[in-house]
Amino acid sequence: MKLLVTGGAGYIGSVVAELATDAGHEVVVLDDLRAGFRAAVPQGSRLIVGAIGDPAALAQAFASGPFDAVMHLAAEAAIEESTTNPALYFQVNLADSLTLIDAMRAHGVARLVLSSTAATYGEPRQVPITEDHPQAPVNAYGESKLMLETCLRWYHRAYGLRTVAFRYFNAAGATAARGESRRHETHLLPLALDAMAGRRPPLRVFGHDYPTPDGTCVRDYVHVADIARAHLLALERIDQLGLAFFNLGSETGYSVRQVLDAVARTLGREVPSEPAPRRPGDPAVLVASAARARAELGWQPEAGLDAIIRSAWEWRQRHPHGYRE
């Protein structure tokens, strides 16, 4: 297939582009490189530098089609920032995304694989979280993605747009070639590994009084390559599915403390850490049920937490400063 991958220079998008290219798909990446890196884009896929909300960039991107599908991963995705600057999140994740989808419609592209998020659920009423769990986001990031999901339900009904939306839980880990690199890092595992290596100050553990066994937040970490694989499975099934929403998680929750312990156990070195206040917008527990993706896509995550940690560390050792451009 010929695919347009937005955000294909970013962490998850570049791994989707990598696996898609390896599987024989032809990939064009659209990325404005504000958060992404040129070096993350796989050899053999074309990069168009531009924003999803920019009509000129969209015209250029779609002129390099026709595309069989769009994989839309470009987004603002920092939960805490979304609580202080919601305008950015609604602009990019909702308004600009709709501009992209309008361009798809104008160019007759009828398949969309969307990256959505576990943050659309808010504080879970029960775990593991199934896809029909009520969605009540507690941050503007989750709300912006939920609003886009809602639009897509209507677009499917009115325009027949076929959509598979993936609600990612916590993407982590690396392939041999691509890993987690941000100009401003906020995520647990890369910060913990850098703290362990002495490249950053001790990790600040946000919150010790959550209603969890050890008081720190529980998350469901899923390997980025497992996430990317689900996108390729979605391409095979999207015409039959029509409109579908899938959690992508490992179905296992680890607290922040347990992740730091797993790093120490797996890599043989302690992560220096210190207690810190809660971070705004963090739900206490997010753990997926992945039963639907298993049943309908035949998807099964392959890597557990230790493999995630090892892969992230191997990549980090080869790229101690991440991508440079």
Binding residues (CB under 6 A) for ligand UFG: these are 77, 79, 117-119, 169-170, 186-188, 191, 203-206, 217, 219, 256, 279, 282, 286
Provide the minimum distance between the beta carbon of 12 and ligand UFG in the complex, in angstroms, as a whole number.
Answer: 9
Q: Give how far Cα 194 sits from Cα of 225, 234, 307, Å.
A: 22, 34, 18
CB 82 within 8 A of CB 63: no
Give the nearer residue to ligand UFG in terms of CB position, either 70 or 286.
Answer: 286
Closest approach of ligand UFG to the CB of residue 145, in Å: 8
Provide, rounded to whole angstroms, the least separation between the CB of residue 172 and ligand UFG. Answer: 8
End-to-end CA distance of the chain: 28
Beta bridge mates, 285: 218
**Closer to ligand UFG by Cβ: residue 3 or 119:** 119
Q: Look up residue 309 and give its two tokens.
A: 């940690």
CB of 63 to ligand UFG, least distance (A): 31
Closest separation in Å from C-beta 212 to ligand UFG:
10
Looking up tokens 């250029």 gives: 60
CB-nearer residue toward ligand UFG: 48 or 222? 222
Q: Find the catalytic residue in 11, 89, 121, 141.
A: 141
Of 139 and 175, which has the nearer Cβ to ligand UFG? Answer: 139
Tokens describing residue 203: 């990790």
Contact call for residues 213 and 256 (beta carbons, < 8 A): no
Q: Which of 12, 18, 11 is nearest to 3 (CA)?
A: 18
Identify which of 68, 62, 61 has the alpha carbon closest to the alpha carbon of residue 26: 68
Q: Note whether 5 and 13 are within 8 A (CB).
A: yes
Query: Which residue's Cβ has the minimum distance to ligand UFG?
Result: 217
Among residues 13 and 48, whose Cβ is nearest to ligand UFG? 13
Question: Would you call 11 a catalytic residue per the annotation?
Answer: no
Residue 316 CB, shortest distance to ligand UFG, in Å, is 15
Instruction: State which residue, 71 or 77, has the beta carbon closest to ligand UFG.
Output: 77
Backbone angles phi, psi at 109, to 5 degrees: -95, 120
Structure tokens that stand for 102 in this block = 């309008």
CA distances from 56 to 30, 48, 50 (A): 12, 11, 8
Q: How would DSSP label each residue in 256-296?
A: HHHHHHHHHHHHSS---EEEEPPPTT--SB--B--HHHHHH
Strands 218-219 and 254-255 turn out to be: antiparallel
Active-site residues: which are they? 141
